[in-house]
Amino acid sequence: MAIYNHDLKVSEGYARSFPSIRELLCQQEINEVFDVYDTDSKTAKTKFLRYGLTALCLGIAGLVIGLVELTVIAVLTLWTGEVLHVHPLFSITGPACALIAIIIYRISRHKHWRETWRGALFARERIRQWHFQMFLDGALICQFSNPDTRGEAKLKIKRRWELFKASVIDPVPAMSAFTKNKNKEPDPWDHPETPYTDEATAKEVYEALLELRFRHQVQYSEKRGAKEGGEKSFGPVERDFKTESLAQTTFQSAIVVSAALTALYALLWWKPELPIEHGLAVGGTMLSALAILLAILNAGIRVYRIGYTLPFEGESYLHYQEKCQHLRDHWHPPTAKPKGGFSFDTSALRELEVQAHRELRRFLIIKGSASFLF
C-alpha cells in the first residue's frame, strides 16, 4: 500500500484482521469524497508550481539576455574602438521574456491555483482527521461492534458525516477561517471522547490505530523530512539543503569575482606603466558581467526557495515527526484492572489529533506565502 494514504485506503485483507471495526477502517463513501479533494489538490498544486517555475525561469532568462547584450556591446566597443549594436531581434528577446513571465504568473494568480490547492488539501486532511477522531468515541465504536446495535451506530456516524461534509463543501473559505482560528486544538471536535466498554473492541482499535494512525504519521513525516526521500523530485529537506548550498555558492562566487576585479584595478593603479590597460578594460567588463550574472542566479534561487517555502516546510515535517514518535511510544493497549474490568487510555490518540490539527494549520499558513514572482 502507498505510504501516503494507506491509512484510509485499507486493503480488504488487512481490514478483515479486525472483524469488529472492519467496516469503519475502510468506508467507501469517505474515500470517494477524499479522492475528489485529493485529485483537486494535486492538480492545482501541479499547475501552481509549473506556471510559477516557468515564469521564474523566463524572468531570469530575460535578465541574463539583457546582461549578455550589454556585455557584448561593451566588449566589442572597447575592442574595436567603434560603437556597435546587436540585432534588434536580440535586443527585444530579454524584455519579451520578462513580459511573458509576468503574463504567465498573472494567469496563475487569476486562476487562484495556490488557494485552490490549499483549500482542497485542507478538506482532504480534515476528512482524514474526522475519520480518526471517530475512534475517540469509545461508546460509538463499541455500539458499532455489537451486531444488535450496529444499525443505530451507523445512523449516528452518517449524521455526523453529513454535518461534517457540509462544513468543507466550499473548501477555500473554510480553509481561510481555519487558518485564522488560533485555537490550539480542534474546536469543536468532530466526535466526543467517550470510554470504551468492550475490551475486545478496544484491543482491535489499539492494534489497528497503532499501524494506521501512529506509525503511519511517523513514517509519512520521516519520508517527507528525509534528506534522501527516494522520490522522483526532491523532498523539502533535500531541496532546502541543495538550493541553500547553491545560493551560498553563487553569492560567494560573485563576491570573489568582484574582489578579483578590484585587485586587477589596484594592480593598474600601482603599476601604471604596465601595458595592460586596454586588456584590463575588456577583462574588467567581462568580470563585472560575470559577477552580475552570479547575483542574478542567486536572486533566482532565493525566489525559488520562497516558491517552495523553504526551509519552513522541511522544519515543519521534522517537528511533527518528533511529536508523532513521542505519542506512538505512549499509545498502550487495554490493561486489566485489579478489581475486574479493563482500562483503555486514549489520551495519546487525542493528543495526536491535536498535533495533526496544529500541523495542518501550520502547513496551510506556510503555503499561503508561496510565491515565484510577486
List the domain range (segments joined by +) for residue 245: 28-178+190-367
Is the residue at 23 inside a domain?
no
The reply to whether 374 falls in a domain is no
Flag whether pLDDT at 274 surpasses 60: no
Cis omega (within 30 of 0) for bond into 19: no
Instruction: Give me the DSSP letters along 187-231.
Output: SS-SS--B----HHHHHHHHHHHIIIIIIHHHHHHHHHH-SS--S
Residue 338 forms part of a structural domain: yes
The residue-averaged pLDDT of 281-304 equals: 91
For the packed helices 113-133 and 28-80, what is the interaxial angle rounded to 10 degrees? 150
Task: Look at residue 2 in the predicted model and tell me its pLDDT.
Answer: 45
Task: Tell me which DSSP letter residue 335 carries.
Answer: E
Q: Where are the alpha helices (DSSP H) in the chain?
A: 12-15, 22-25, 28-80, 88-111, 113-133, 138-145, 150-167, 171-180, 199-209, 216-225, 236-270, 277-307, 312-328, 347-367
Residues in the chain: 374
Summarize pLDDT for 220-241 with one digit per residue, the tens: 888 877 655 445 567 888 889 9
Does residue 136 fall inside a structural domain?
Answer: yes
User: What pLDDT score was predicted for residue 1?
Assistant: 39
| pTM, 2 dp | 0.90
User: Does residue 372 form part of some domain?
Assistant: no
Within a domain: 143: yes
Total domains in the chain come to: 1
Give the pLDDT confidence of 77-125 residue by residue, as tens digits. 777 777 677 778 878 999 999 999 999 999 999 999 999 999 999 999 9
184 in a domain, yes or no?
A: no
In a domain, 34, yes or no: yes
Per-residue pLDDT, 275: 56
